[in-house]
Chain A
Amino acid sequence: MSAPVKLTKFPFIIPSLINIVILGNLIIWLLGPPSTLLASCVILTLIFLIISKLIDIKKSYLLIFFLAYALLLTLGLGTTEWDARTIWLAHAKVIYLDRDLYAQIIEGGYIGGHVDYPIGFPALAATLASMVGTWNEVFPKAALIFFLMPPLFVTFQVLRSKTLEIIFLVGLAIICRSYLFNGYMDALVALYTWAIVLLVMQIETFKIDIPENKLSTRNYLFSITMVSFFSVLLMLKNEGLAISLLLMILLLFCRLSFSRLQLFAIAILPLSFYLLIWKMALLKYGITNDLMSNGIAQRIIQRIVNFEDIKLITTYFFRYCDLFSLAFILNFFRKGVCVRHFRLPIYFVITYSSLLFFIYLSTPSDLNWHLFTSVKRALLPVLLVMFGSIVFSLSPAYKSYVERR
């Protein structure tokens, strides 16, 4: 019988602080463009937090290697990928040059694509440029490292096994591929989604290790962590809004051990932040999402009755999910794995895949082209949640939890 895993202190303070600094950066830009000194303070605080967490996680060689590789690829190569240039770094450049958080949506500003996409990453890349004092085609994309680390810290803190950490990093590379470092937001959305699912499974697993009198403090800190992760996820990409709403509904539905007040805070605070910082500005300037164009219901009906379109979407989905979904299902037949403990990832995988299915049914673009160019990125959260759940089920924390039940 493996020994119960004891948490001597709350392990997610630094990942939450990194998220809070990232969100604080948006408020700084809202109040006015940051000076070189202020921008340096933001970036140096983030660097300090990452280093202190790397020291805190004993023997964190794997994360140091990962970080070094991320630095090599983001600071050693130019930026060539289409969305990275046309959307994310272009928005960052516009914020940096115009010294305005909303430069991309102001009339007469940037006329490139997808100006409705949230500005969590572009604002931090603009802050990095403000610190350096110039813009170029290399370093701004390194801002994504500050987003990569909090979910990885949470994952490593929970897994607590070198073998499982290696397996997770290998799986991450297989699932997310170059999207991890090329300036796209999809891998970050997947990692933040996974971190939130893991945090929820974590609180369910560890609550029996905590004395009753400390449970409320622990739950309070968990709530702050959840709020910070949801808020960053919302500010990463439009998919973050869909995923956040879905997870918030599932949290209610799964009746986990959060109090009503905590659930209310976890849902309301991130959504309020998103609405106040970004959505209201979009409404003010009349910016809408291109998928929400007229005739959405008509397109869905047309495609639902067309068996070829449904077959095409299903084929694409299975092409990217087949092995992982099979492993995800088979894992529940393993001795010591209880389906009930994985309600959240199971419900998420089913509901988010269904949501994506309907989004593809409603696309105003050519369906084949839309699937070809985006499905492998859109499915990353689903794949990572499935894979991460398998790895979590192998962790000492989960095993000890099951044994003690």
Chain B
Amino acid sequence: MRASLKNGLLNTLLIVIISIGIIEYTKIGLSLLDGTHTKKFINVSPFSKGAGEVDSLPPEILDIKIMSERNNLTKYGLRFSSNDESMKLFIIARAIEFLYPARIDSNSRFIFLIGKQQFIKGCKTVDQLHEITLYECAS
């Protein structure tokens, strides 16, 4: 009687632990899903070229990458029309790793302006996509 009661309690405890485990692993999955931009699993092969780009990066960075490749840039600079420092930091960090081997260089004559297009003295517009404009500057 006592042994069966003990077994019953242990089984109940095990079921509780398994339930906690299922909840915890589900939470891990949901937290990782929450970090992506589209909040869903990728719908292409994980080994295909460009897989996960729209799920992992903000649209501005994807636009910069398209223009960078279209214009064969090896070096580029970044400018922002907004003063949001955390946004600037985020875009710069993502650009450095995602656009590699193209390198960020403040002395580059090619400059991406993120935000509303505006006149930059000594520069001409080379390319534009959505809210990103690529300028070529004299120096």
B contact residues, range: 35 or more
A170-185: which have CB < 8 Å to B?
170, 173-174, 177-178, 180-182
A136 interface neighbour in B20, B31, B49, B94, Cβ under 8 Å: B49
B58-95: which have CB < 8 Å to A?
93-94
* CB atoms of B101 and A97 under 8 A apart: yes
A contact residues, range: 35 or more
The reply on B131 being an interface residue by CB < 8 A is no
* CB atoms of B101 and A112 under 8 A apart: no
Secondary structure at the A interface, as helix, strand, loop or mixed, is: helix
* CB atoms of B28 and A139 under 8 A apart: no
A48 to B8, CA, bound (A): 41
B1-30: which have CB < 8 Å to A?
14, 17-18, 20-21, 24-25, 27-29
* CB atoms of A90 and B25 under 8 A apart: no
With A85-B97, A112-B96 given, is the CB distance from A77 to B42 under 8 Å? yes
A91-106: which have CB < 8 Å to B?
93-94, 97-98
* CB atoms of B14 and A166 under 8 A apart: yes
The reply on A248 being an interface residue by CB < 8 A is no
* CB atoms of A77 and B14 under 8 A apart: no
The reply on A221 being an interface residue by CB < 8 A is no
* CB atoms of B21 and A111 under 8 A apart: no
- Chain A nearest CB from B60 CB (Å) reads 15
Binary flags per residue of B33-50, CB closer than 8 Å to A gives 1, else 0: 101110001100011111
Write out the residue numbers on chain B whose beta carbons fall within 8 Å of the beta carbon of A182. 32, 35
The reply on A80 being an interface residue by CB < 8 A is yes
Secondary structure at the B interface, as helix, strand, loop or mixed, is: helix
The reply on B120 being an interface residue by CB < 8 A is no
Write out the residue numbers on chain B whose beta carbons fall within 8 Å of the beta carbon of A145. none
With A80-B36, A111-B96 given, is the CB distance from A173 to B25 under 8 Å? yes
The reply on A403 being an interface residue by CB < 8 A is no
- Chain B nearest CB from A328 CB (Å) reads 18
The reply on A167 being an interface residue by CB < 8 A is yes
A137 to B17, CA, bound (A): 35
* CB atoms of B41 and A90 under 8 A apart: no
Additional A-B contacts beyond A138-B46, A139-B47, A163-B14 (16; CB < 8 A): A69-B25, A76-B42, A78-B37, A79-B52, A97-B101, A110-B97, A112-B93, A112-B96, A134-B48, A136-B50, A137-B51, A170-B18, A170-B21, A177-B27, A178-B28, A181-B32
Provide a sorted-by-A list of 20 A–B residue pairs whose CB atoms are within 8 angstroms. Answer: A69-B25, A76-B42, A76-B46, A77-B33, A77-B36, A77-B52, A80-B36, A80-B37, A80-B55, A90-B97, A93-B100, A97-B101, A111-B104, A136-B48, A137-B52, A137-B53, A139-B46, A169-B21, A170-B24, A181-B32
